[in-house]
Amino acid sequence: MRPAGGADLPSPGRRYGAALTTPRIVALPGDGIGPEVTAAALEVLARLGEFEVEAHAIGGASIDEHGTALTDETLDACRTADAVLLGAVGGPKWESTDPEAPRPEQGLLGLRKGLELFANLRPVRPSPALLGASPLRRERIEGTDLMVVRELTGGIYFGERGRTAGGSAFDTCAYSVPEIERIAEVAFRSARRRVTSVDKANVLETSRLWRETVERFAGDRRRAARGEGADPREDDVELEHMLVDNAAMQLISRPRDFDVLLTENMFGDILSDEAAMLTGSIGMLPSASLGAPEAPGLFEPVHGSAPDIAGTGAANPLATIGSVAMMLRYGLGRESEGAGIESAVDRALEAGLRTADLGGAATTESATNAVLANL
């Protein structure tokens, strides 16, 4: 099941569908509001049964404690876990123009690379109770139910970079055919009716390779679906290509027309944050990062560390609670329990729950209690 009402989505998460007696979760609270929303989400998780939770520092907290954003010990602990829950990383305390200075974001990128997490899934479905909270008109967003499938380990974020003696800087964007094929497979398996592949093929050579590869993959998939003994439903998914600037406009003008958005790393980072505002607040969106079948998945809210409200008790925990729902579904094979959390969040919102980012006054604690009361 796709999160929040979508179609079946096979997950590459570790031991998906297996009965885990006591699942082992590594919690990485991180920085800013990360520890607060992580604690709230773990409180919801604990209501569902017994889980072994082991906490480690990451990001700025790890820089302060160990001098690096991700230690080998933390990465090893994550590799042997059944799933990883991340709060958020970053903050002005660790910002620097020094290229040699450690940055909190290096912990997140190192985690994705070290766990070989190549597929980021970000569902966007505005809760019926929050249609009035979006900056867009209700009639424009009503019925929106889309998934952003973002490639995580390639592109400009992981390409060569540096500065020259002449005072210029460079960042290299690179993709290979296998990298594009494997993320395309996740997108097509996620889709119910259409995959919209986003690129900048009118300018970038990597985007031209991306478009060619996705087109060929879709054709091979259609031909295989027509073979003897194949599932004809595999032939039902359409493919369209869209330039990234046009996609950014169409997300605002007709969001409910989208099903799955397939993007490379940087485009996906930007578009998924734009799509988050369809829900009324970036504090509402969960995400899952998945890789090989034997690797644990990483589950985290889309929002950042919000250091300006850290410690005030005002942080919205719903995106992190939603990430726990995705963890249960994709990481631990507990579909019904994940759906139960999502339903509890919807019912709490329908009953009037509103945190500050949604125009209300509910605290992190009261929001968590409202979900627990409906679980």
Q: Kindly list the catalytic residues.
A: 157, 200, 245, 269, 273
- As to burial, measured by CB atoms within 10 angstroms (0-12 exposed, 13-18 middle, 19+ buried), residue 369 is middle
CA–CA dist 277, 77 (Å, integer): 34
Residue 159 neighbours by CB under 8 Å, 6+ apart: 171, 172, 173, 174
Place of tokens 């992981």: 158
CA–CA dist 362, 351 (Å, integer): 12
Strands (E), 77-174: 83-88, 119-124, 146-151, 161-163, 169-171
Answer whether 47's CB lies under 8 Å from 99's CB: no
Give bridge partners of residue 169 from the DSSP assignment.
163
Strands (E), the chain: 24-30, 52-55, 83-88, 119-124, 146-151, 161-163, 169-171, 194-199, 238-243, 260-263, 286-290, 297-301
Distance of CA 283 to the CA centre of its chain: 12
Give the single-character DSSP code of 83.
E
Number of CB atoms found within 10 A of residue 277's CB: 19
Give bridge partners of residue 25 from the DSSP assignment.
53, 83
- CA 125-121-210 angle, to 5 degrees, is 115
325 SS3 class? helix
CA–CA dist 61, 87 (Å, integer): 12
Report H helices in 197-264: 205-225, 244-253
